[in-house]
Every structure is written in C-alpha cells, then in structure tokens.
Structure 1
Amino acid sequence: MAQAGEIKRKLEKKYPKLSFRLVVIQTRGDEFQVGVFTKAIEEALLKNRVDIAVHSLKDLPTELPKGLCLAAFPKRLDPGDVLISKRRYTLQTLPKNAVVGTGSPRRKRQIQLIRPDLCLADIRGNLDTRVRKVIHGKKYAAAVVAKAGLKRLKKYLNFAVPIPLKEVMPAVGQAALGIETRKSDRTLIRLLKPLNDPRTKMQVCAERRFLKELRGGCRVPVGILSEIRQNKIRIRAAVFSTRSEAAVTGEIRGPASQSEKLAAILAKKLLKKGAGRLLREARS
C-alpha cells in the first residue's frame, strides 16, 4: 500500500482536478506465495475493477498478460540490500553461526560465499512483519531486506546497515516501481507518462530483458546491477548455484540507448557459460 499511496499522491499533485482512489485487492490462500497477489491485481485490471496497478518490479514476471502494459517507471531508489538487526551488525561482524532471515535464493547464495558459517533461514511476512521478528524476537540475529522498502515505509532505518553492492548484487528491478494499465486505454497511458523516469526505464527494461532471455523468474538466484553514466550503460550480472559455490558472471558496456539489446547479448553469453544448468538446478 505504501508504494500505491506514493503514486496516488504524485498523480493528485500533477492532476489536482482529477480524483484518485486506492482499491485494496484481496487474495485467497497464501498471500506471500510468489505471483498470487500480482495475478489478482492484473485480473482486476483486465476486468476494469481498477485502472492502474503499482508493482514492485522485482516481483513482477517479465511476461505480462495479454492486453496489459507497463506505462511508466518512476525514478528508482537505491537498489541495494540492508542488514536489519538490533545491534546494527554488518555481514562481517555478525556472530559466528548467527541466524539470518531471508527467503531469497539470490541473497542466500551471495551471503554464503562471504560468510559460510551463517545459518540462513526463511522468514515469512510482509516487510513490517519481517523487521519486527528481528527487532522483537529471539530467533533471528538479523534479516536482509531491500533498502528501498524501508525508505518507502519511512521506518526502521536506524536498525539498517547497507550491504555493499559489490558483496550482494540486487535482484532484477529491485527498488523500482512499474505502473501497469490496459494497453487499450490511451488516455490513461498519456496521463501516466509524466511519472516516467527515462534513466530508470532504460535500466529496468534492460534487466527484465536479461531475465527474460535467461527464461528465469522472480525466485531464481540471479543478481544484476545496471549503471548509466554519460549516456553509457554498464551491466554486471551473475547466476548462482543453489547447491554449490558455482556461479556464472559477466559484464557488458555500451550506449544506454541500446540497453535492452546489450542485456540480451549478456544473457546469451552467460547461457553459453553454463547459466542454464544452474537455473535448471534452482528450479528442480
């Protein structure tokens, strides 16, 4: 709701004569199961029960349902992860064999490469719930979460220590939002256009193209970092094994205007180096 509220406020400021309303979408079963909530929102869009959907891009599949499109990508926040703990630990200062909460295969594998002694355990719930389990509970010494989520909540930042990007590479689309609507609604698409940040769009579309070429998904152990400077883009990416210390890494640079093409080339290079085998291993 925090990110939807943020977009609602921006639209109200841009269009003071228009009225915008937040709609709560209910899901059945396990609300934390990957894709369940996204699917419910997209069904609401297709059935005209809502007009705009605000997604965290790292949780949004690269293939959208027929009839829907991503109309805008607001400016991205810091894509890095943070370590949440009562004592403000870093990965290096965590006690030996400490229990660290994360359900992300990407985070687990990269952290294990730095601190193989740590016990990495799944931690369930929304961001608020996960942080409270660390701060008020005894099971977890720390948990890994996205820095952007805390900034949007405007909470718990005093318990957070940034993890350097060189240590833990972000997920595809991390810290970025995607605004989805119906392809046929040209008026809404025009209305949303001012919320788009061109640099963010180039970065996240490249990252999503990379994942699409890999035939990966939101839960595979893939890290990626795209940076744009002086109209040039640098994309670094890695696919990690879920069973060993094996990893396939690569990097590509070129004109930012060719970001998606470069990302596709990088994905194909990693597949030739064995990334496909690691992804199949992760899915099995």
Structure 2
Amino acid sequence: MDENTAKEVQSSASHNAKENSSRIIRVGTRKSQLARTQTGTVMNMLKEHYPHAQLEIVAMTTTGDKILDTALSKIGEKSLFTKELEAALEKNEVDLVVHSLKDLPTALPPGFAIGAICKREIPYDAVVVHPSHAGKSLDTLAERSVVGTSSLRRAAQLKRRFPHLEFKDIRGNLNTRLKKLDEKNDFSAIVLAAAGLRRMGWENRISQILEPEDCMYAVGQGALAVEVRVNDPDVLEMVSALNDTETVLRCIAERSFMKHLEGGCSVPVAVHSVINQNQLYLTGAVYSLDGSDSLKDTMQTSVSTQTQDEDCNVADVQHVGIMAKRIPHNSQAAAEKLGIDLANLLLSKGAKDILTVARQLNDSR
C-alpha cells in the first residue's frame, strides 16, 4: 500500500468513528454481575478510542442463566449463554454483544462475526477454598474432600492429578457459586476461571492458581469477544480497534483445534498457547471423563504480530468466526492451520475414540 492509499484508509476509519459518534451504539450483555463488569470494561475501552461515542447497555437473561439444576455438559445446547443475545443482534435490538470467548461456539450463525478479541486476562483456573480451609491447596485438602466444578475439562484433569479428591457439579454465576461454597458445607473448594475473579476484584479469594501442568484451560478462556453483524461495517470497524494481536492469533488456533475435533462442553478438551519470538505454540489435549485416558501434544508455527493498516481493505475473511481487521491475514490463516494440524495429529493417535466414549458416558449419566 502506498502512502496516499494508507492516508485514505486512515481518513475513512476516522470518518466512520465520527459517524458512530452521532449514533447510539447498543451493547448487549448477560445480566450477571461479572458479565456487566466485563461489558463495562469493553465500553470503557471503546470510549478511549472514540470519546464521543454514545454507548448504551442492554442486559438480558440467557438460557444458561435460567437452567441451574442441570450440568452444562448434559443440556446439549451449544449456545447456552449466547442464543438470546444473538437473537437481539439479528433483530437490530443491539449493535454488538460482549461475551466471554469461551462461551461462544466455534461456528457462529450466518451474518455474525467476532469483530474483536480484547487483550487476554490470565487464562488459568483458580481454586477457591471454603473459609474453614483457608490457606490450603488441592494438594493439602483432606482425603475425599469434595471440589465443585461444572466443567468436564477441569474434572477430568483434576481427577487424574488429585485422585484423593472427589468432584461434584456446581452451577450458577460467579456470585452464586461463591455463596454456595461459603454458606454451606457441601464443598471444600471450587474451581473457577481466575480471569473472572480478577475482573471482579476478588483476587483475595484465590488460594491456588492451577498451572497448565495441573490443569490446562478452556478454549478462549480469559478473553473477551465482541460479536457484531457482518453487514454493519461501521460497528465492525469501530470494534476492530480493540483487537489484541497475540490474543487473536492464540484464540484462532485454540478455536480451530476445538472445531476440528468437534469438541465442546460435553467432552473434556483443553489447551495451552503462547507466542514467543514470532512462534505460536499450541498444546492441546483430550481426556476421558475420569482422566484415566488422555492424548496430549504440542505444535508450533510462525506468525507476525505486527498490525497492518492495509488489512482494512482486504476482503472480509473469517477464521473460526473471527474477523480481525488490521491483523495479518496470513498469520490468522497460519494460526487456524496450526489448530487443524494439531487436531489431526491427536485424531491420528485415537482422540476420536476417547471423545466418543466420553460423550456417550456423559449422555448416559
């Protein structure tokens, strides 16, 4: 791109931002305290880039918020925490939606895209103990102590790593689960995403951070995604300012791995990714429900983390639902291929059998 063309692109982006300043941008979110806090964070970031933008929150309850007596893995619905929000987006009742990326299926409905993924918070899981066990970790909890988690991924890995503990389902939003832990004696500890606790300012509740050696995290965990309509270029351009290049590339690789495995919350799939000196490393694993059987491997690819203005003019391309302007498309494609290649490697070693049995056992419970 020559200098004059680059200036035209920047001028167009500036014009779009000014256009949006006279338009009320309605931001969809779940009603939970954590969801609203996360949405507030994204809105503040937008205001930093576009000080005159008019933003308005539209909060709603999703299917996943209503069904609290059934494990997530048993419900069988892929869009538990997104369906109602996406319906509002489709009806033009909201202009963008803020999600925890790990809640978003790897295939989005037609006409939608993830227009931005913000800089990732720590993606690891955290242990929160009952007040009577203050200072303890999973290692030091007594034999047969009960640990609460709604995630098959967490349970499978932790059963393998901490066989002296018992694991039981616990549902509800962050506040609800902490209340169940503190006010009853049903659980000695619960396992939650560290990112949510940190965003709420509750780091003091964290007794232990689970490193990848103990428990690899969920695809997209710790990252906030902004979903938009593909046919709304002004909003798509507006939110693209929030993209964090390293987070986008890591999450493309993770989502691609999950999608190619045909994984989801009904099977234990875990990942760990990192970018170091333009090398993107992806570790992925699949587990049986009890953690006794597993496959795990790591692959890498070269990427560029430099943003490129010319990508503003490239035809819109999605990589596992992500449409990230200004981030080199060849790097996005390389990240997507990395996820596919790693999934194929595990499938060649028998991952499909492990996942099929896990899915059947989960369905029969």
TM-score class, shorter: over 0.9
Amino acid at match of 1:67: G
> Match of 2:273, SS?
strand
Equivalent residue number for residue 210 of structure 2: 163
Give a deviation string over 1:36-85, Cα, whole Å, max 9, x none: 33111111101101011111111110000000001011000111011101
1:18-52 Cα shifts (integer Å, max 9, x gaps):
11011011346834555233111111101101011
Q: Tell whether 2:219 aligns with 1:184.
A: no
Per-residue CA distance 1:242-274 (angstroms, 9 max, x = gap): 156000111102213322211110000101111
Q: Which moved more, 1:200-209 or 1:159-168?
A: 159-168
d(CA) in 2 for partners of 1:147, 1:36: 21
Match of 1:94 in 2: 141
Q: Which residue of 1 aligns with 2:104?
A: 60
User: 1:218-259 CA deviation, whole Å, 9 max, x = no partner?
Assistant: 342011001100100111111001156000111102213322
1:282 has 2:358 as partner:
yes
Name which of structure 1's ranges 88-97 and 203-212 shifts more when overlaid on structure 2: 88-97
Q: Letter of the aligned partner of 1:280 in structure 2?
A: T
1:25-44 correspondence to structure 2 within 5 Å: 25-27=60-62, 30-31=66-67, 35-44=79-88
Query: Could you tell me how far apart the structure 1 residues matched to 2:220 and 2:270 are?
Result: 10
Describe the shift of the 1:244–1:234 C-alpha distance in structure 2 as closer, same or farther (beyond 3 A): closer
Per-residue deviation at 1:180? 0.4
Task: Give distance in 1, aligned partners of 2:80 and 2:96.
Answer: 18
Counterpart residue number, 1:223: 270
Question: Which residue, 41, 46, 63 being the options, matches 1:6?
Answer: 41
Give the residue type in structure 2 aligned to 1:2: T
1:176 counterpart letter in structure 2 = A
Q: Kindly indicate whether the alpha-carbon contact (under 8 Å) linking 2:271 and 2:283 is maintained by their aligned counterparts in 1.
A: yes
The SS at the match of 1:20 is strand
TM-score (norm: length of structure 1)? 0.95
Deviation at 1:160, TM superposition (A): 3.2
Which of 122, 126, 131 is the equivalent residue of 1:78? Answer: 122
Q: Which protein is bigger by CA-based radius of gyration?
A: 2
Identity %: 39
Match in the other structure for 2:14: none
**Superposition map of 1:92-241 within 5 A:** 92-155=139-202, 157-241=204-288
Q: Tell me which stretches of 4 or more aligned residues in structure 1 moved more than 6 Å.
A: none
Q: Retained in 2: the 8 A contact 1:73–1:200?
A: yes
Note the alpha carbon deviations across 1:179-231, whole angstroms, 9 max, x for none: 10000000001101111001000000110000011011134201100110010
For this pair of structures, how many residues does the alignment match? 284
- Return the TM-score normalized by structure 2: 0.75
Counterparts in 2 of 1:159 and 1:266: CA distance versus 1, 3 Å = closer
Q: Note closer, same or farther for the CA distance 1:28–1:174 as it changes in structure 2 (3 Å cut).
A: closer
Q: Which residue identity lines up with residue 76 of structure 1 in the other structure?
A: R
Query: Which stretch shifts more, 3-12 or 21-30?
Result: 21-30
Partner of 1:46: 90
RMSD between aligned alpha carbons? Answer: 1.5
- Tell me if structure 2 keeps the 8 A contact 1:69–1:183: yes
- Could you say what secondary structure the match of 1:70 adopts? strand
**1:247-258, aligned counterparts within 5 Å?**
247-256=294-303, 257=331, 258=334
Judged with a 3 Å threshold, the aligned counterparts in structure 2 of structure 1 residues 262 and 156 are, in CA distance, closer, same or farther, namely closer
Contact 1:108 1:120 in 2 (8 A): yes
Distance 1:17 1:28 in 2: 34
1:271 paired with 2:337, answer no
Tell me the secondary structure at the aligned position of residue 154 of structure 2: helix
Q: What is the alpha-carbon distance in structure 2 between the residues aligned to residue 28 and residue 265 of structure 1? A: 34
Q: Quick one: distance in 2 between partners of 1:194 and 1:56?
A: 18
8 A contact 1:151–1:157 mirrored in 2? no
